[in-house]
Amino acid sequence: MARPTLRARWLVRLILLAMTACSTLDAGGVARALSDKTLMKGSRGEDVYELQDRLKYLGMYRGAVDGIFGWDTYWSVGSFQSGHALPVTGQVDDATRRALLQATRGFEPRHHSSTHVAGGVGRFSANDIKLMANAVYGEARGEPYIGQVAVAAVILNRLDDPRFPKSVPGIIFQPGAFTAVSDGQIGLSPNPQARKAVMDAVRGWDPTGGAVYYFNPATATSKWIWSRPQIKRIGKHIFCR
Amino acid sequence: MYRRVAAVLTPVLAVALVITGFWGYREHRQKQAVLLKAENQYQRAFHDLTTHVDQLQDELGKAMAINSVRQQTPCMTNIWRLAFAAQSDVGQLPLTLMPFHKTQEFLNNIGQFSYRLGVKDPQKPLSSQDWTTLKTLYGQAARVENDLRQVQSGILSHNLRWMDAEMAMSDNQKKDDNQIIDGFHKLEKQVTEFPEVSFGPTHRTLESRIQEQPAQNLGSDAPPDRVAAKVKQFLGLAGKETVKVQENGKGNPNPTYSVTVEDGRASHVFLDVTKQGGHVLWYMNDRPVGGEKIDLSAAEAGARNWLRAHGYPVMEMIQADQTDSVGVFEFVPVERGIRLYPDKVTVKVALDNGEVIGLSAKDYVYHHRPRNLPVPSLSMAQARQRLSPHVTVQEHHLALIPNDEKQEVLAYEFLGTIDRDTYRIYINARNGDEEGVEKMRREPPGTAQSW
C-alpha cells in the first residue's frame, strides 16, 4: 500500500477526532461501548474485557485483561468510584458507567475474540476444572446430566476424604480409580455439558448425598464394591460410600 | 500350473512371514518395555511406602523420649511429613479396588495428631493422655511396618509383580493366591482390629463434606406423600406433573429422599429432601438455558426475592459468579449484623428469564438454628491492630465462622490487599486470635480456558 500523503493523514486525524467527539456526546450510540448491563464481581464476558481495558487506560487496573470481574477489577472499580465522588459499591451501574465513559473519552475499544471465559472457581484452577470435565466426560458421557454432576461430586467428595489423595489430579490418576483413565478415554475432549456438570458440583451441588464410590452393576467385577453401603442409583451408576 | 504359482508364491510368503514375525517381535518388545515402566513405578511407590512407614515408626519412638519444645517441634513436624508422604505413596498403588481404608485413616490420624503437637499447639511436657496415645501409635506403627516388610521381602525374594496383583484384583473369578493382595488384606485386617485411640480434644476425625451431622433436631419423619406435597408447593407446580419420591439407601447417615418431577417428557427437575422434617437439601432444574437477557445484578435481586418467598431469613450476598448464561450466588443469613457463614445457601439463576434453577442448602438445613450469638469484646479498631501491617484493609464485617476445630467463633472478617493479591483475614472478636488467613486464588495469566 502506498504511503498516505501528508494531507491524507491530516484528513484521517480529523475524522478520528470527529468520531471521538461524537462518542463523547452520545456514548451509548457507539457500536462497541459498554452495554447497559450492570457489571458486578463475578460478571464475565465482553463488557468485562472492555471495563478492564478502560480501567487500564486510566492506569487504575494492573491485573490481566481476562474478561473475568475478579477481586483486582473489584478494587479498581471501587477506587475509580471514590475518585469520582460516586458511592463505592464495586458495581458498574449507570452512574459509574457514564463517569467511566466520560473519563476514557480517547479510548478505542478493542475486539476480544473469546466471549465465554472459564476461569477457576474457589479453590479450583481452570485446569483442575478442565481435568475433572475430561474425567466426567470419559466416565459418564452417556448418562443423564444429573448423573454427570454426581460423578464430579464423587471426585470432590474424595478430595475432602482423608482416605484419598489430596489433589484433583491425584484422585483422577490414582491407579485403578477410574476406568476412563485406565482405558485412555480421559483424553477425549469434553463437551460443554460435562464442563457445566463439573461447575455445578464445584459450586456445592452433590446429587450423591456424599458418595465416594460408584459402579455400574452390569459391568462391575469387584466383589468388594458391592459391600459398600449404597446411597442411590442415578442412571446406570450405583453410588455408595 | 500349480507348481509354477507355488514357486513364485512360496518365497513371497516366506519373506512376508519373516517380516511379520519381526514386526510382531518388535511390538512385543515395545509392549514389554511399557509394562515394565509401569511396573517400576508401582515398585518405587511401594518401596517408598515401606521406607516412609519405617522412618515414621522411628520418629514416633524418638518423640516419646523428647522433653523440650525445641526438639519436639521438628520431630512432630517430621512425623507429619512422613505420614503425608506415606499417604501419597498409597495413592500411587493400584489399591483402589480393595479395602485399604483403615490403614489410610491410620496414617491420616497420625498426621493430624503430630500436626497438633508439632505445629498448632506444641507444649512440653506432653499431657499424660497425649503420651499414652503416642506410645500406642508407636506400637501400632511397628505392626504396620512389620506387615509391610513381610510383603516387601515376598516381593523381593519371589520377584512378585504389582501388575499381576492388579490383574488378580480386577478379576474376581480367578481364585489365585496373590501374595501382595494377601499381605495387604492382612495389614488392613490388623489395623481394623487396633483399639480406638484418643487423639485429644482438638482432633478432627474424618472431617469431610460427607459426614455432615445436623447441629439440631431436624424434626419428625416426613412420610413420602407429605414430601411430595411439600415439593409441589416449593416448586409452585400446577398439579399436572408427577412427583416421584424415593427413599435413599443406608449409605447416607442422615436419611434422605430423592425426588424427581416428571411432566410427561423426560424429567429434568431433581431434589433431595431430608427424611426428618422434610427439608429441601438441594434442588436442580437442568433445562437448557438460552441467551443472556438479564444481567447479574438483576438476577441477584431475583434470587433474593425467591429466598424470601421460600421462607429463608434475611440474607446477604457474599459471592457471585457467572458461567455462560447462568448466574450463581452465595448467600448467608445476617443476624444482629453478623454474617452466619456456616449457614450458607447457593442459588442458581438462569439469565434468560431470571428463573431460579438451582438451590444448594445443605449447610443451611444442617446448621441454621436459633443461636445465642456472642457479643464482641474487641472493637473493630482493636481487632484491626492485630492485622499484619502490610495488609491494606478494604472492607470489614462481623462474622460467625467455623474454626479449625469446627467450633463456631465470632470474628471480624477483613478483606485486604497486599499489592495485587486479595486476602480474607479473620480475627477472633472475643480474644483477638488470628483465626484464619485465606488468599483469594488468582488465575495465572494465560490459563483461563475458553472452550
User: Which member of B296, B362, B445 has the closest CB to residue A42?
Assistant: B296
What's the pLDDT at B174? 52
**Interface check B39 vs A, CB under 8 A:** no
**Are residue A71 and residue A162 in the same domain, yes or no?**
no
Query: Could you say which residues from 201 to 230 on chain B have a Cβ atom under 8 Å away from some Cβ of chain A?
Result: 206-212
User: Which member of B104, B169, B320 has the closest CB to residue A163?
Assistant: B104
Residue A75 has pLDDT above 90, yes or no: yes
**Residue A195 and residue B451: Cβ atoms within 8 Å?**
yes
Query: Of A122, A141, A239, which is closest to residue A197 (Cα–Cα)?
Result: A141
Average the pLDDT over B64-93 and give the result: 91
A188 occurs within a structural domain: yes
**Are residue A157 and residue A93 in the same domain, yes or no?**
no
Cis peptide bond prior to A165, omega within 30° of 0: no
Rounded percentage of chain B residues whose pLDDT exceeds 90: 55
**Interface check A103 vs B, CB under 8 A:** no
What's the pLDDT at A27? 42
Q: What is the DSSP string of B233-247?
A: HHHT--S-SEEEEEE
**Interface check A161 vs B, CB under 8 A:** yes
Taking only the tens place, the pLDDT of each residue in A189-198 is: 899 899 999 9
d(CA B126, CA B116): 12
**Are residue A52 and residue A155 in the same domain, yes or no?**
no
d(CA B44, CA A91): 54
User: Which member of B88, B171, B297 has the closest CB to residue A91?
Assistant: B297
**Residue B321 and residue A130: Cβ atoms within 8 Å?**
no
What's the pLDDT at B118? 87
What's the pLDDT at A24? 44
A219 occurs within a structural domain: yes
Quote the domain boundaries for residue A38: 34-106
What's the pLDDT at B407? 83
**Are residue A69 and residue A157 in the same domain, yes or no?**
no
A220 occurs within a structural domain: yes
User: Which member of A68, A156, A165 has the closest CB to residue B88?
Assistant: A165
What's the pLDDT at A164? 87
**Are residue A145 and residue A203 in the same domain, yes or no?**
yes
Taking only the tens place, the pLDDT of each residue in A105-154 is: 888 888 776 555 566 777 788 889 999 999 999 999 999 999 999 999 99
**Are residue A134 and residue A231 in the same domain, yes or no?**
yes
What band does B242 get if pLDDT is binned at 50, 70 and 90? Answer: confident
Nearest CA in chain A to B345: A204
CA-based angle A27:A31:A33, to the nearest 5? Answer: 50
Query: Could you say which residues from 141 to 160 on chain A have a Cβ atom under 8 Å away from some Cβ of chain B?
Result: 144-146, 149, 156-157, 160
What's the pLDDT at A21? 47
d(CA B274, CA B281): 7
For residue A229, which residues of chain B lie inside 8 Å, CB to CB?
249-251
d(CA A21, CA B443): 38
**Are residue A132 and residue A236 in the same domain, yes or no?**
yes
**Are residue A153 and residue A236 in the same domain, yes or no?**
yes
Q: Which residues contact B359 (CB under 8 A, 6 or more apart)?
A: B280, B282, B283, B345, B346, B347, B348
What's the pLDDT at B186? 87
A145 occurs within a structural domain: yes
Residue B205 has pLDDT above 70, yes or no: no
A160 occurs within a structural domain: yes
Query: Of A96, A48, A108, which is closest to residue A73 (Cα–Cα)?
Result: A48
Residue ending a domain, among A106, A135, A166, is A106
**Residue A42 and residue B322: Cβ atoms within 8 Å?**
yes
**Are residue A86 and residue A142 in the same domain, yes or no?**
no
A1 occurs within a structural domain: no
**Are residue A162 and residue A61 in the same domain, yes or no?**
no
Taking only the tens place, the pLDDT of each residue in B86-110 is: 999 998 888 766 778 888 889 988 9
Coil, strand or helix: which one is B131? helix
Residue ending a domain, among A45, A76, A106, is A106
Distance of CA B178 to the CA centre of its chain: 32
Domain count along chain A:
2
Taking only the tens place, the pLDDT of each residue in B177-197 is: 688 888 888 888 888 888 877
Tell me the CA distances in angstroms from B360 to A130, B111, B130, B280, B345, one per residue in order: 23, 32, 40, 9, 6
Q: Which of A120 and B146 is assigned the larger pLDDT?
A: B146
A43 occurs within a structural domain: yes
For residue A164, which residues of chain B lie inside 8 Å, CB to CB?
91, 104
**Residue A222 and residue B170: Cβ atoms within 8 Å?**
yes
Shortest distance between the Cα of B446 and any Cα of chain A, in A, equals 9
Average the pLDDT over B150-170 and give the result: 86
A3 occurs within a structural domain: no
CATH number for the domain harbouring residue A82: 1.10.101.10
**Are residue A43 and residue A93 in the same domain, yes or no?**
yes
**Are residue A94 and residue A138 in the same domain, yes or no?**
no
What's the pLDDT at A1? 42
CATH number for the domain harbouring residue A156: 1.10.10.2520
